[in-house]
Every structure is written in structure tokens, then in C-alpha cells.
Amino acid sequence: MTNILEIKNLHVEIEGKEILKGLNLEIKEGDIHTLMGPNGSGKSTLANVIMGHPKYQITQGEIIFQGEKINDLSPDEKAKLGVFMSFQYPQEIEGVNIRNFLRTAYQNVHGKISVMDFKKLIDEKAKILNLKDEFSDRYLNKGFSGGEKKKSEMLQLAILNPKLTILDETDSGLDIDALRSVAESINLLKEKNPKLTVIIITHYKRILEYIKPNKLSIMINGKIALEGSSDLVNHLEEKGYGWIEED
Ligand code: ADP
Ligand code: MG
């Protein structure tokens, strides 16, 4: 498989402080790639920069998505290319149900769709994810549990059908049932679309028991310090991050 994402010698600053310090990473199309590393190593910074968050400044290096340099694209332009990140919604959006919210998100990426056709699409995806049709009638995040928020994110993922999705600590704070449900959703979407590429940023081994990543990278101090198969996670559980040498 070809690389869907290539990051070359990436240096990124926020408010004049260098956070990413010459990071290199290659992600193959269809891979499930896990990214781990200590707090503050720059994982979220990397995710935000890939998405095009304006607060972060690329001072050197390249982000190449499907052969095209995307350093300077806006988050909107990146979404149109098929890059998605699971993000925290605003607390609640008064009077907006999930279906209307997702229709707007869909239209931003894929262009106009009628209310009827969108209803069909969302019902089909809800079915794949084992969600009740009524789920999309609910107001966005109103009274949602952590698990339900994640379900609406998974529905958004299914609807937008991106090429690359980044899940930044999506598993944090979930109980075991919610965690399993997120993992199952990813596996179902992956089954439907084997080319879906997923970057999972996590602190915990447990999500990796349900989603089998092909690769694991460990980030330390703004760089990828080690790359390997998902078995690496067992070393981490035993020894922490201290045994990995920084260069
Ligand atoms: P991780 O996700 O691996 O825990 P982050 O990317 O969130 O790491 O943070 C990396 C470093 O960047 C930390 O030292 C953090 O303090 C700093 N940082 C992140 N976001 C900001 C910000 N908005 N303003 C200032 N410093 C930030
Ligand atoms: Mg983080």
C-alpha cells in the first residue's frame, strides 16, 4: 500500500515555543496506526497541525497527504480532501438535532444533499453502527453521556467517510462498555471501507485489545522516538517510557 500521509522533518511552534522538533512519520493507506507517548510530548499538537489548526506555526518541514503538500491548507480544505479529526463539540447546541448538525457537516465536505436523501444516508449508517433511528433526532450533546457523545462522533465519522481519521484520546474517560462500543464502531467502519486509515492517540493499552493496530509509534519530546508493531505496547506497560533512548 502507498503512503497516505508523510511527515518530513516537521518543526512546529506555538507562541514562539518549539513543540515538534523534526518529526518524521509515514502512514500507509488502510493502516491503523497508534501513537503513544508521555504527556506533553506533542501528540495533540501533531494532530492539530495535521488538521490545520491556525494556532500552530510550521517553521520547517512538510506534511504530505496523498502526494500533495498540505502545510498551508485550512481545516475546511483538509476536510474536503478527506482528513477528519474526532473533536470535542461545543457543550450543546440549542435546538440543533444530530441529523441537522451532521447534514451541515456533510454538505461542507461533499456538497448539497436533500433532506430526504440525507435521512436515508444517516439511517443506513446508524444501522451499521447499531444505533436506533431516533438517535439522530436528539439534540446535539443535550444530556449525552460520555459514551453517547462518542457514538455521535462515530456516526459523524461514518457519514463523512473520510480517508484519514485521527482519534485523539477518544478512549479517555470512557467506561468499558463505551470503550468497546467505540472500538466496535471503528471495526465496523473499517470492514465497510478497508482503505480507511486511522491514527489512534491513546494512553491506554485497553483500546488496543479491541482494535488491532498494524503499527505503533512512540513520541517523545516532539519526535518519533521508536516505531514498531503493536506488541511494543507490552514493553511500555512493563517498563514505562524511560527505556526509550532519545536521540
Ligand atoms: P500531548 O498531547 O502529547 O500531551 P501536547 O501536544 O498537548 O502534548 O503539548 C505539547 C507541549 O506543547 C506541552 O509542553 C504543552 O504545554 C505545549 N502546548 C500545547 N498547546 C499549547 C498552547 N495552546 N499554548 C502553549 N503551549 C501549549
Ligand atoms: Mg494530548
Chain segment 21-41, per-residue pLDDT in tens:
999 999 999 999 999 999 999
pLDDT of 247 reads 57
What residue spans define the domains of the chain? 3-89+162-246
- Return residues with CB closer than 5 A to ligand 2 (ion): 43-44
Whether the pLDDT of residue 120 is over 70: the answer is yes
For residue 55, which atom of ligand 1 is closest to its CA?
Answer: 23
Whether the pLDDT of residue 42 is over 90: the answer is yes
Note the ligand closest to the C-alpha atom of 48: 1
User: Is 186 within 8 Å of 128 (Cβ atoms)?
Assistant: no
Widest pairwise Cα distance in the chain = 56
Centroid of ligand 2 to alpha carbon of 184 (angstroms) = 23
Cell of 29: 493507506
Chain segment 47-92, per-residue pLDDT in tens:
999 998 889 999 999 999 999 999 999 988 999 999 988 754 445 6
pLDDT of 88 reads 46
Chain segment 85-112, per-residue pLDDT in tens:
875 444 566 778 899 989 999 999 999 9
pLDDT of 102 reads 92
For residue 37, which atom of ligand 1 is closest to its CA?
Answer: 3
Centroid of ligand 1 to alpha carbon of 18 (angstroms) = 10
Centroid of ligand 1 to alpha carbon of 152 (angstroms) = 27
For residue 38, which atom of ligand 1 is closest to its CA?
Answer: 3
Span 189-218, mean pLDDT? 91
pLDDT of 219 reads 96
| Edge-to-edge strands, sheet with 32-36 | 83-86, 164-168, 197-201, 32-36, 215-220, 223-228
Cell of 205: 493499552
pLDDT of 56 reads 94
Note the ligand closest to the C-alpha atom of 18: 1
Domain 3-89+162-246 indexed as CATH 3.40.50.300: yes
Q: Is the CB of 16 under 6 A from ligand 1?
A: no
pLDDT of 11 reads 98
User: Is 214 within 8 Å of 32 (Cβ atoms)?
Assistant: yes
